[in-house]
Structure 1
C-alpha cells in the first residue's frame, strides 16, 4: 500500500466520510453501488436498506470523536483510510481501518476493522 495525502482520496470516499461523520444517512448511502456491502464488527450489511439501518444504529449507539490519521492506496479502486476514535464505546480508544473498494465511481465494498 502506498501512503497518500487525504486530499488525494477519490471524491466519492471523501464525501462519503463527510456524510458518515455528519450522520447524514441519505448522503452516505447515495455514494454506494446498489449492491454494496459493508462489514463492521464481523457483520456484513448488503444493499442500501441494510446499510442505512446499520448507519442509523452505529450513529446512535455511542458518542465518539473521529480523526483521519492516515490514507493509503493499493490501486485505483482500493483504498485504506485509518481513523482514530475516542468515545464511550468499550475500550474507549481505537484506530479503525476503513477499507474501500470502488466500482464505477461509487463504493462497492467497505470493511471496517482494527
Structure 2
C-alpha cells in the first residue's frame, strides 16, 4: 500500500526525535480530533503527539486505505500501553496539497 507522503510521515515518525518532520506534515491551520479533544496547528499537534506517545508508548501499523467523502481512511493496528491493546482504529485524513488538513481518530 502506498500512502501519500504526509500520511506516511504520520505513521513513520518516531517520537520525540522526529517532532519537526511530524509537525511539518500538517497544514498551518490543521486540526486533529482525538479522545474528545481538538488540537489546532502544527505546534499544538506536535505537543499532542509527543504527550500521547509518552503516555501510551504506542505504534500504529497501517492495514489498508480507502477513500470516502473526500477523506482517506486508514485502518491501523495500534498497540501500546492502553486497555484493549492492540486495537484497530480508523484514521480519517483530509489533505490539502502535501499537508494534512484534518485528522479524526476513532
Instruction: Give the alignment's TM-score, normalised by structure 1.
Output: 0.81
Structure with max Cα Rg: 1
> Counterpart of 1:12?
6
The offset of 1:94, in angstroms, is: 1.2
Structure 2: stretches of 5+ with no match in the other structure: none
Moved more, 104-113 or 86-95: 86-95
> Counterpart of 1:68?
62
C-alpha distance in structure 2 between counterparts of 1:64 and 1:31, whole Å: 19
In 2 relative to 1, CA 105–87 (structure 1 residues): closer, same or farther, beyond 3 Å?
closer
C-alpha distance in structure 1 between counterparts of 2:56 and 2:29, whole Å: 27
> Counterpart of 1:3?
none
> Counterpart of 1:57?
51
Query: Does structure 1 residue 34 correspond to structure 2 residue 34?
Result: no
Query: Does structure 1 residue 44 correspond to structure 2 residue 38?
Result: yes
The number of residues matched between the two structures is: 104
Root-mean-square deviation over aligned CA pairs: 1.6
Structure 1: stretches of 5+ with no match in the other structure: 1-5
In 2 relative to 1, CA 103–97 (structure 1 residues): closer, same or farther, beyond 3 Å?
same
The offset of 1:87, in angstroms, is: 2.6
Helix, strand or coil at the partner of 1:91: coil
